[in-house]
Structure 1
Amino acid sequence: MTADHDIDGSFSTARVTAREEAVTLSQDSYTAFLYPLDDEKLAPWRGMGVDEFSAIKRSPDFVQALLGDWRSLYEQPFVGITTGGVVRDGVHPLGEARPNDPEPVDAARVLVDLLDAERREALLHDLDAPDWRAWSNPEFVIHRVGLRLEEQDDAVVEAVHALMRASLSTAGYARAREAMELNGYLGELTGLETLMNDRSYWIALYGTPSVDAPWGWQLFGHHLALNVVFVGGRQVIAPVFIGAEPALSDGERAPLFDARERLAIELAESLSAEQRGEAVVYATVLDPAMPEGRVHPADERHLAGAFRDNRVIPYEGIRADRLTSAQRVLLRAIVEDFLLLLPDAQRERALSEVADYLPETHLAWYGATDGSQPFYFRIQSPVILAELDHHAGVWLSNRVPQRFHVHTTLRLPNGNDYGKAYLRQWRAARPA
């Protein structure tokens, strides 16, 4: 029998302990895993403010060790995610520089104009400030960057959403907003609305909003992190972290990543036996064949989350040139869903660049391919790294992964997270 005990109040050994038996999906709704409101997992936090809560959550030795690891990663100079430790140059060409989209510029200026001097100073950062890399996705605060939405008046919060709407595609804004609303729903389910609500997020601006010069903005908090950069008419939205626990509300709408998961299962199920032998790296999400440390107590299987800007991630799985044309269509559709936040024209350019590296694109799958188990998959090439992972409960009581707790990440390997590869090219074309 698999040992299972708490590491701290949020994490248990079951989420990282290998097991011979497969992790199967519960037939129960996520509501079957709700803690009673008077449970010790919830009651001590009720009514607590985020600063007091964060101080207590950061205090255990286990969390302090995690924070120490993350701090050392944060303090490293930015390189970018690679497959072997060396950045591959030339895979993110900026092309001929053009003006940036004026609508986000106008929206950002409206936001700035609403603020007094003190809040404006907190919001605005230099374009090259290290704070870009301080984002995180837990419900407790690790770094304070910018303004916290729940501390702002309604006009400022609406201006932040107007900036999001102006910068993202219509469907992309809807997805980001849904992640924020699901965080609020989790707060309602647990009675912890002061800690988890649809304003539990930090907003910061980098550089001066302009059609002529690079600038960007960042929003992050529980289960949502967006890093948006405008450079020479190109737009980068990466790193991205979007998740939810639960990934659906009261049954009135589909789970947050339902379409993406359906496409992924359809692709995985279409694999021949030979293809499956290449694509399926581990038979289950807690496979004993995994090397020690492969499942992280906070990140579980995903590799490209907060503070992992320089991670070396070798390719796994099957190359896309081993897929049939129909399977490649499904793969493209999954990638397009990961890129949904980008406005339409920007998304098409990004998809074209992904297609240029299709022969080098890899699909790695952990778990059963038929949707009967929680699973993890990663799509990785020189220009994109996209992950979806099912997690054990933090605020729900499932001790092993279930599909109603989902984490997703999106990165631009080889140095273009935060638009940095584009920035270098833009500046090189304009010597001082």
Structure 2
Amino acid sequence: MPFPQARTADTTQKAVSAANSFLAMLNDVQRAKVNLPLNKTTRSNWSNLPTGARFQSGATERNGLKFGVLTAAEQEAALALVRSTLSPAGYEKVINIVNGDEMLERETAPQRPASTATRFGRAEYYIAILGKPSVSDPWMIQFGGHHLAINVTVAGPANVLTPSHTGSQPTMYTFNGQTIRPLGHENDKAFALMNALSPAQQKQATLAYEVADVVSGPGHDGEVIQPEGVRASGFTTAQRNMLLDLIREWVGIINADTARAKMAEIQDHLADTYFAWSGGTTNGSRAYFRIQGPAVMIEYAPIGTGTDHIHTFYRDPTNDYGAKVIKQ
């Protein structure tokens, strides 16, 4: 499906304007720290791990500036930049993850040894701009912290979300009187799909081993794993639609026009896409799943023995970091 250039060009212009507005609010020292060159080293320096950890890239600090050193107005400008390329639902998911991590910080801080460098919470999320914001030349928006890595490559009208990480701990919390499940739809739709498969399909989908974490996460750029599970070529129309609806939870984080084009590409290759499962099949059970095809790689992994700590990952085997549209 051709890229919807006119509409996504509008998104790119909004992103450029938001980036320039944010940069204009910073002093020279801050600007130099947040606006870095776009290259292989900078774009791969991101992680799902908390502040204080050594990241998979070998770095001990994310690119950019953390929210804890920004004023309230600067934080809002940074979030406006993040929001500029995302869908409303995608942005809400991002904020729900951040708020969940703030809850984790409040719960764990009193028990944490003073000597530990580990930190959670909103203040420990970082914003970075790689390259010069442009409506034609490639650049990148990075926003992340514990359980979140949003990497949006912007190249002309193209907005590319992969690779990206979304996670949650806790998986459910109360905020402003509302019950929030940042990854609730991902969980529920996956269990619904698994239970919509026939016994023979479930047997094909089920892996013969347990999976402790995502296998294609940060630090694994360019790696290829063998597809496993049940192939969607044998799915009924209803099962295919359920699989597409599940995939859309990750693809739909980006703006609607970009997501629509990406979903069309995934649908074109759906017959060669695999669904794999490890764990119980009753919703609420601990279960890992993977969706892997020519145009998509998604993983969902409970961490530890329970279900209150989730890592998920989304890659495009053909277009991580906008490989199709830029050469870096």
- Give me the TM-score of the superposition, normalised by structure 2: 0.89
Q: In structure 1, what is the equivalent of residue 323 of structure 2?
A: 420
For these two proteins, the number of residue pairs brought into alignment is 311
Decide whether the 8 Å contact of 1:137 with 1:306 is kept in 2. yes
1:59-79, Cα deviation, whole Å (9 max, x unpaired): xxxxxxxxxxxxxxxxxxxxx
Distance in 2 (alpha carbons) for counterparts of 1:278 and 1:101: 42
Q: Which residues in structure 2 correspond to 1:390-409 (within 5 Å)? A: 390-392=302-304, 400=305, 402-409=306-313
User: 1 or 2 for the larger relative contact order (CA 8 Å, sep ≥6)?
Assistant: 1
Q: In structure 2, what is the equivalent of residue 308 of structure 1?
A: 220
Distance in 2 (alpha carbons) for counterparts of 1:325 and 1:195: 46
Q: In structure 2, what is the equivalent of residue 356 of structure 1?
A: 268
Q: In structure 1, what is the equivalent of residue 75 of structure 2?
A: 157
**Shift in Å, 1:244:** 1.4
Q: Which residues in structure 2 correspond to 1:26-175 (within 5 Å)? A: 99=9, 101-141=12-52, 142-175=60-93
Q: In structure 2, what is the equivalent of residue 380 of structure 1?
A: 292
1:212-232, Cα deviation, whole Å (9 max, x unpaired): 222221112111101001113
Decide whether the 8 Å contact of 2:270 with 2:293 is kept in 1. yes
**Structure whose alpha-carbon radius of gyration is higher:** 1
Match of 1:255 among 181, 184, 190: 181
Distance in 2 (alpha carbons) for counterparts of 1:154 and 1:361: 44
Decide whether the 8 Å contact of 2:82 with 2:143 is kept in 1. no
**Shift in Å, 1:368:** 2.0
More strand, by proportion: 2
Distance in 2 (alpha carbons) for counterparts of 1:199 and 1:340: 26
Counterpart amino acid of residue 351 in structure 1: M
Decide whether the 8 Å contact of 1:241 with 1:410 is kept in 2. yes
Q: Do structure 1's residue 279 and structure 2's residue 205 form an aligned pair? A: yes
**Shift in Å, 1:129:** 4.8
* Distance change (3 Å), C-alpha of 1:96 and 1:138: closer
**Shift in Å, 1:96:** 7.5
Distance in 1 (alpha carbons) for counterparts of 2:27 and 2:40: 22
Residue 403 of structure 1 aligns to a residue whose secondary structure is: coil
Decide whether the 8 Å contact of 2:274 with 2:291 is kept in 1. yes
Counterpart amino acid of residue 165 in structure 2: F
Distance in 2 (alpha carbons) for counterparts of 1:270 and 1:126: 47
- Give me the TM-score of the superposition, normalised by structure 1: 0.68
Counterpart amino acid of residue 50 in structure 2: E
Distance in 2 (alpha carbons) for counterparts of 1:129 and 1:354: 26
Residue 229 of structure 1 aligns to a residue whose secondary structure is: strand
Counterpart amino acid of residue 162 in structure 1: A
**Shift in Å, 1:372:** 5.2
Give the root-mean-square deviation of aligned CA atoms. Answer: 2.2
Match of 1:216 among 140, 157, 160: 140
**Shift in Å, 1:101:** 2.2
Which consecutive segments of 4 or more residues in structure 1 shift more than 3 A?
A: 92-100
Q: In structure 1, what is the equivalent of residue 115 of structure 2?
A: none
Decide whether the 8 Å contact of 1:378 with 1:387 is kept in 2. yes
**Shift in Å, 1:376:** 0.4
Decide whether the 8 Å contact of 2:134 with 2:156 is kept in 1. no
